[in-house]
Amino acid sequence: MLPCFRRCLALGVIGVAVLALSTSIAAADSPTWTTVSTNFQSPLFGLAVAPGHRLMVADSGAGPTELRGSSASVVANLPGVTDIAPIGRGDMLATVSGETEQALYRLSRGHQSKVADLGAFERQFDPAGDGPDSNPFDLARTNGGNTFVADAAGNDILVVNNKGQIDWVAVLPKQDLPTQAAKELAGCPNPSDPELAFVCDLPDTIPADPVPTTVAIGPDGSLYAGELTGFPAVPGTSRIWRIDPNARHVVCGTDPGCSLVNTGPMTSIIDMNFGPDGTAYVVELDEASWIAVGNGLGAGGTVDACKVNGTTWTCSERAAGLPIPTAVAIDGSSVYVTLLSLVPGQAQVALLP
């Protein structure tokens, strides 16, 4: 069995991104964005807009953080936070993922309470049937009170109702991908890193985990889920799925209720949100794939703007060459991203032109 490649490498991009710091900083030498704030512990994952045009940041090193101008203040002691969803002016939901806890929390006026133990659900039910593993990474909340969660290690989309009851909506399927590019990146047949020697012995193709890193509610009311795509992380193979929000226990691509979206090639999708005009903004961590970043061959990330028409999207680059973007949020016509998001001391929130 391949080492890790679900939880470890689903978001083991933290490690590989730091290894490629020089590549990322080079991309930042000619910035095409305006830095809003750098006052974070990092890593940064989720980004959201709260009432009053306040930016909320999921700073996993500190907890949910509020931005007012360039000033950042931690609003709850919740390290390990991966995403946030404001509810009104003072409340919010947050997903947490760590070695000992994978859960959904509600935060309110300095108080915090666990709504749902997502890790326990995965251990009990393992909807994907590939061994229990949980990394709740992104969430989306409906006006009706349901909260949808993309579990990056579970390879599924979950739903939590307003009573804290958990069910699974959809399992995202694996896809068989060629390993030749990974072998070249590893330096096969004689890799310089002995820990990569196993890559040289891989078959020509292997099944790659989908690694769902984002879920968002589209202008048509459908759920849209995006994939990072696990090892061997072939460029152009990340997918977006359109899911009926009322669907339960479906396998995407096989059962009714979850169908593939035609976006054109995308690589290492790590976040997606919709603007007020219905445009989907999709963040690609790196155009050369997350595995290339770890080998110092990263090409920089991209934010794509996509016009949505059911399962056919027309996408164009809003910004490219971005250093380690992990999240996007839209406030009116303003598009905000996290950059250098996994690098301690350098993570920032920026405004795209």
Cα first-last separation, the chain: 45
Beta bridge partner(s), residue 339:
348
pLDDT of residue 291: 85
pLDDT of residue 88: 82
pLDDT average, residue stretch 71-98: 94
Using one digit for the tens of pLDDT, what is the confidence trace for 138-185?
999 998 899 999 999 999 999 999 999 999 999 999 999 999 988 988
pLDDT of residue 144: 85
User: At residue 116, what are phi and psi to the nearest 5 degrees?
Assistant: -155, 135
Q: Which position has the token pair 């045009």?
A: 53
pLDDT of residue 181: 87
**Strand residue runs (E) in 228-351:** 240-243, 250-251, 258-260, 269-274, 280-284, 301-309, 312-322, 328-331, 334-339, 348-351
Residues in CB range of 32: below 8 A, 6 or more apart: 319, 321, 352, 353
- C-alpha–C-alpha distance, residues 211 and 339, integer Å: 21
Question: Is 2 a residue whose pLDDT tops 70?
Answer: no
pLDDT average, residue stretch 251-275: 97
Using one digit for the tens of pLDDT, what is the confidence trace for 321-335?
999 999 999 999 999
pLDDT of residue 17: 40
Domains in the chain, please, with CATH? 7-174+209-351 (2.120.10.30)
- C-alpha–C-alpha distance, residues 22 and 93, integer Å: 35
More confident residue, 138 or 28: 138
pLDDT of residue 186: 84
pLDDT of residue 33: 95
For residue 135, name the pLDDT band (cuts at 50, 70, 90): very high
Structure tokens at 343: 């690098």
Question: Is 199 a residue whose pLDDT tops 60?
Answer: yes
Q: What is the mean pLDDT of the chain?
A: 90
- Please report, rounded to a whole number, the percentage of residues in the chain having pLDDT higher than 70: 91
pLDDT average, residue stretch 84-91: 90
For residue 31, name the pLDDT band (cuts at 50, 70, 90): low
pLDDT of residue 90: 82
Using one digit for the tens of pLDDT, what is the confidence trace for 203-231?
999 999 999 999 999 999 999 999 999 99
Mapping DSSP to helix (H, G, I), strand (E, B) and coil, where does residue 232 land?
A: coil
Question: Is 346 a residue whose pLDDT tops 90?
Answer: yes
Question: Is 137 a residue whose pLDDT tops 50?
Answer: yes
Using one digit for the tens of pLDDT, what is the confidence trace for 16-27?
444 344 344 444
pLDDT of residue 294: 65
For residue 9, name the pLDDT band (cuts at 50, 70, 90): very low
Residues in CB range of 166: below 8 A, 6 or more apart: 116, 118, 121, 158, 159, 160
Q: Picking from 81-90, 95-104, 205-214, 276-285, which range would have the lowest pLDDT averaged per residue? A: 81-90
**pTM to 2 decimals?**
0.93
pLDDT of residue 236: 96
